């Protein structure tokens, strides 16, 4: 009975207290009250692995949001957060509207978690044409709610980001064809180094469920055959 287990799952996830969010999990608070400022702790394997992901895949490029705000990709958008990342462009008539409309459904399903536990980000593939006002209108057209931000950037920066987070195709001819651009939604929990991706056109309910596990990896799942 998938419906029952799904409902149960969602209610369980919703009941998880905010304070227990792994996103806020840092050093124990009490450690900050030592008398002598302690030497910076040696980097653990985890720290190094996290730095490596940052170095290769999460460039700190400069972006401009649909509200005209300038931000940096790693520092402001990804660091210490759980996020979804996907690409679109405003005059795209095939895959982008489908994915964007689908993500709007996902956002509704996730409710208040978006902007609090999960941050949704969409990046334009055509930064030269998609100005702030264009992406502002595009975002409004699809009814994106708070917590879901759209971005443009300098074309070189955006291209760097696209490649770094794995939105390129091995065949250069196909890669250059924007109508065949990659419609996946990459999702990740940066501090926990949990990264995967799902198709942007998968069922919204399933996308929402996978995003909840990224935020609450301690959840089990089981479903009768």
Partner 1 sequence: MHFNVFGEKVSRARYREMLNAAKNRRELIAAGLTSRRDLVKMGLLTAGGMLVAKSGLSARAQTLTPGNVNGKSVKTNNPPSSGQNTSPGTNQNCVPGNQLASPATVPFVTPLTVMPLAKTVSSLSPAPTENPNAGAGEVRAAPFQAPLIDPTRFPVVPGTLYQFNQRQFTTSFSPSLPLQTVWGFDDGTGTRSPGPTYQAFYGKPQLTRNINSLPSITEKNNTGFGMASVTTHLHNAHNPSESDGNPCDFYTNGHFCDQYYPNVLAGFNSTNAPNGDIHEALGTLWYHDHRVDFTSQNTYKGLVGFYCLFNQFDTGDETTGFRLPSFPQFDIPLAFADKVFDPDTGQLVFDLFNLDGILGDKFLVNGTIQPFFQVSPRRYRFRLLDTGPSRFYEFFLTGNVGGTSSPTTNPFFLIGTDGNLIPVPIQVNSVRIGPAERVDVVIDFTNFAGQTLYLENRLNQINGQGPVAVDSQLFAQNEPVNTECTQVLGPTTPAIKAAGAGDQVIQFRVTGPKVKDNSLPPSRQKFYSLPTTTDEPRVVRTFKFDRLNGQWSINGQFMDCNTFRFTVQQNSVEHWLLTNLTGDWTHPVHIHLEEHQILNRNRVAPNVPADQGRKDVTQLHPNERVELFFRFRDWLGKYPIHCHNVVHEDHAMMALWHVEPTGDNVQVP
CA 76 to chain CA mean position, Å: 12
How far apart (Å, rounded) are the C-alpha atoms in residues 84 and 52? 20
Q: Which of 66, 148, 197, 212 is close enough to bind partner 1 by CB under 8 A?
A: 197
Q: Please identify which residue in the block is written with the tokens 């509704």.
A: 108
Kindly identify the residues of this chain, within the stretch 44-83, that bind partner 1 according to CB under 8 A. Answer: 44-46, 48-50, 52-53, 56-57
Q: CA nearest 150: which of 190, 75, 206, 96? A: 96
CA 189, 193, 197, 203: dihedral to nearest 10 degrees? -40
Q: Is 8 in the site for partner 1 (CB under 8 A)?
A: no
Judged by CB under 8 A, how many residues of this single chain contact partner 1? 69
Site string for partner 1, 153-182 (x = CB under 8 A): ---x--xx--xxxxxxxxxxxxxxx-xxxx
**Site membership for partner 1, residue 225 (CB under 8 A):** yes
* Least Cβ distance, residue 100 to partner 1 (angstroms): 13
Should residue 39 be labelled a site residue for partner 1 when binding is judged by CB under 8 A? no
Q: Please identify, among the stretches 29-37, 72-80, 118-126, 188-196, the one whose residues bind partner 1 according to the rule CB under 8 A.
A: 188-196
Task: Lay out the site mask for partner 1 across 102-131 (x = CB under 8 A, - = otherwise).
Answer: ------------------------------
Burial class (CB in 10 A: 0-12, 13-18, 19+), 102: buried
If one asks whether residue 192 binds partner 1 (CB under 8 A), the answer comes out as yes
Alpha helices by DSSP H, listed for 64-219, are 95-110, 132-141, 155-164, 172-176, 204-215
Q: Is 221 in the site for partner 1 (CB under 8 A)?
A: yes
Task: Report how far residue 64's alpha carbon sits from residue 174's, in angstroms, rounded to the nearest whole number.
Answer: 27
CA 166 to chain centre: 13
Residues that bind partner 1 (CB under 8 A): 2, 6, 22, 25, 44-46, 48-50, 52-53, 56-57, 94-95, 156, 159-160, 163-177, 179-184, 186, 188, 191-203, 205-206, 209-210, 213, 217-225
């Amino acid at each position: 009975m998938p419906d029952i287990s799904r409902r149960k799952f969602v209610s369980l996830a919703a009941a998880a207290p905010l304070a227990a969010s792994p996103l806020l999990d840092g050093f124990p608070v009490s450690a900050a009250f030592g008398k002598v400022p302690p030497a910076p702790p040696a980097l653990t394997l985890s720290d190094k692995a996290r730095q490596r992901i940052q170095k290769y895949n999460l460039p700190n490029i400069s972006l401009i949001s649909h509200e005209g705000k300038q931000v940096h990709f790693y520092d402001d958008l990804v660091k210490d957060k759980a996020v979804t990342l996907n690409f679109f462009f405003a005059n795209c008539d095939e895959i982008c509207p489908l994915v964007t409309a689908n993500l709007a459904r996902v956002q509704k399903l996730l409710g208040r978690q978006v902007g609090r536990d999960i941050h949704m980000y969409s990046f334009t593939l055509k930064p030269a044409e998609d100005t702030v006002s264009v992406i502002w209108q595009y975002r409004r057209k699809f009814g994106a709610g708070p917590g879901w931000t759209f971005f443009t950037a300098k074309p070189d920066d955006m291209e760097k980001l696209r490649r770094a987070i794995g939105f390129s195709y091995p065949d250069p001819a196909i890669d250059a064809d924007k109508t065949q651009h990659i419609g996946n939604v990459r999702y990740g929990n940066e501090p926990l180094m949990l990264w995967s991706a799902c198709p942007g056109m998968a069922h919204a309910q399933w996308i929402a469920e996978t995003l909840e596990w990224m935020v609450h990896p301690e959840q089990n799942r089981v479903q009768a055959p």
